[in-house]
Structure 1
Amino acid sequence: MNTLTKYCIVASLAASISLDGSAQSRPIAYPARGQSPQKQQQDEGACYSWAKSNTGVDPAAVANAPPPPSGPAVGGGERVQGAARGAAGGAVIGAIAGDAGKGAAIGAATGTAVGGSRARQNRRATAASSQAQTQGAMDTFNRAFGACMEGRGYTIR
């Protein structure tokens, strides 16, 4: 294995692993015209800057974006709304059965559980949307980076 091939393997491995150890989906460039490792590094830097300025996507900022919140779903007031709806419905049913207070209490408890389920569902939908948006931005950046590198005589994978 010649030195250039070894360098390309090491460079591609280093480029594909971020600081936190997760794999990046950045395209890998292979010199198609015998470019030196120094020239490839220079071209990658120039194409990174070009792609960043033309797409408005900064991969470093995307990688360092905080993850969506996790833990118990407490946002949006879904539990409170569920409790209010449940209490109202339970009071009506309880009044028919002869004990509106007991019906309201049961309805409120049930409504709180349903509201919590709704809150968790909303949180999952928000997280999925955020992830799809991030992936779309990175795909746009990677296409621009790859096009720039191809224009400079590299094969992109």
Structure 2
Amino acid sequence: MLKATILVGALLASPVAFAQKPVVYPAHGQSAQRQAQDDGACYVWAKNNTGVDPAVVAGAPPPVVGPTGARVRGAARGAAAGAIIGDVNHHDPGHGAAVGATAGALVGGVRSRQLHAAQAQYAQASQQSTLNLYWRAYSACMQGKGYSVQ
């Protein structure tokens, strides 16, 4: 039981997990010691039944997003378009390619940042969903032990 209490203490140290933990009130006069024991037991029960360890989920680093090549692809597309436009309008495909490459690289950079932001948002939503699954199981356990859970 001491091991479960230590695990719960480590869990509470995590700001993400702590923000999600429901508030539990003793509904039948349970002592603080009894509540701590039930809390540890429900932590283990919910972890075993959901396969989710909130301390691990909350402590997981954000995904590392590598280079996407969006800038390079944007520059290549821009250079190609710029060369055609430069040749047609000014008979200078080199200048058109340079301008197009610059513009394409900028657009590619914007796309890359948007992709990274979307991936980070997805990872955060996935983490939140996983923690919600765990906390629902934990809440059900604590309610079954006679606590009011909010």
Contact 1:47/1:145 (8 A) holds in 2? yes
The change in CA–CA distance for 1:54 and 1:16 in structure 2 (over 3 A counts) is closer
Question: Whole-Å Cα distance in 2 between the matches of residues 39 and 74 of structure 1?
Answer: 48
| 1:18 Cα offset (Å) | 3.0
Question: Whole-Å Cα distance in 2 between the matches of residues 61 and 30 of structure 1?
Answer: 26
Listed as ranges, the matches of 1:3-152 within 5 Å are: 18-19=13-14, 23-68=18-63, 75-96=67-88, 97-152=90-145
3-state DSSP of counterpart to 1:30: strand
Give the TM-score taking structure 1 as reference length.
0.82
Question: Whole-Å Cα distance in 1 between the matches of residues 17 and 133 of structure 2?
Answer: 20
User: Cα deviation per residue 1:37-76 (whole Å; 9 max; x = unaligned)?
Assistant: 111111100100111111111111112111355xxx8711
**Identical pairs, percent:** 52
The change in CA–CA distance for 1:23 and 1:54 in structure 2 (over 3 A counts) is closer
Question: Whole-Å Cα distance in 1 between the matches of residues 130 and 99 of structure 2?
Answer: 47
Letter in 1 for 2:57: V
Structure with the higher helix share, 1 or 2: 2
The change in CA–CA distance for 1:42 and 1:74 in structure 2 (over 3 A counts) is closer
Letter in 1 for 2:125: A
Question: Whole-Å Cα distance in 1 between the matches of residues 138 and 66 of structure 2?
Answer: 40
Which structure 1 segments of 5+ residues have no match? 1-13
The change in CA–CA distance for 1:155 and 1:35 in structure 2 (over 3 A counts) is same
The change in CA–CA distance for 1:141 and 1:23 in structure 2 (over 3 A counts) is closer
Bigger Cα displacement from structure 2, 25-34 vs 81-90: 25-34
The change in CA–CA distance for 1:20 and 1:54 in structure 2 (over 3 A counts) is closer
3-state DSSP of counterpart to 1:57: coil
Give the TM-score taking structure 2 as reference length.
0.86
